[in-house]
């Protein structure tokens, strides 16, 4: 299978995953009218749904924001969220693939030297 085809299937998996109620939820966000109206015309013109337009983008923003946290806040974040059941999260996948963190090996696996709250 070519890498293009493999990427296509990977993308379909992601889309399928996004439609699953188990891993995703829909929230309502209020924006300035200028932004909502512009978003709607861009979405209509380029034929993409508004509701899932930001799903991946927000994952990347969340990762960037965690990466920019003040040190104490980052330590608190890891204490609370570095868990086996977060393995599907974008931020943890990125940090593991960047070799910043080890992959949590099993439920209850903590980073050495990190005290749980």
Which residues of this protein are in contact with another protein, per CB under 8 A?
A: 18, 23-39, 41-42, 45, 50-52, 54-55, 57-71, 73-78, 80-81, 86, 88-92, 95, 98-101, 111-114
Measured from the CB atom, is 33 or 108 closer to another protein? 33
Least gap, CB of 4 to another protein (angstroms): 23
Q: How far apart are CA 14 and CA 18, in angstroms?
A: 6
Q: Which is nearer to another protein, 2 or 35 (CB)?
A: 35
Rounded to whole angstroms, the Cα distance separating 68 from 53 reads 24
Distance of alpha carbon 11 from alpha carbon 83, whole angstroms: 26
With contact defined as beta carbons under 8 Å apart, do 82 and 45 qualify?
no
- Least distance to another protein, CB of residue 32, Å: 6
Q: Which is nearer to another protein, 5 or 99 (CB)?
A: 99
Any idea which residue has 């927000």 for tokens?
58
| Residue 62 to residue 20: CA distance in whole angstroms | 20
In terms of CB distance, is 9 or 65 closer to another protein? 65
CA 29 to chain centre: 18
Closest contact distance (angstroms) between CB of 5 and another protein is 26
Rounded to a whole number of angstroms, the minimum distance from the CB of residue 8 to another protein is: 21
């Amino acid at each position: 299978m070519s890498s293009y085809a493999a990427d296509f299937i990977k993308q379909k998996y992601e889309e399928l995953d996004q439609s699953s109620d188990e891993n995703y939820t829909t929230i309502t966000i209020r924006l300035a009218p200028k932004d909502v109206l512009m978003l709607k015309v861009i979405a209509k013109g380029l034929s993409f749904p508004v509701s899932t337009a930001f799903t991946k983008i927000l994952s990347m923003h969340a990762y960037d924001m965690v990466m920019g946290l003040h040190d104490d806040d980052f330590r608190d974040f890891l204490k609370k969220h570095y868990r086996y059941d977060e393995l599907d999260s974008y931020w943890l996948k990125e940090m593991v693939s960047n070799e910043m963190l080890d992959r949590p090996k099993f439920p209850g696996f903590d980073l050495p030297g990190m005290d749980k709250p």
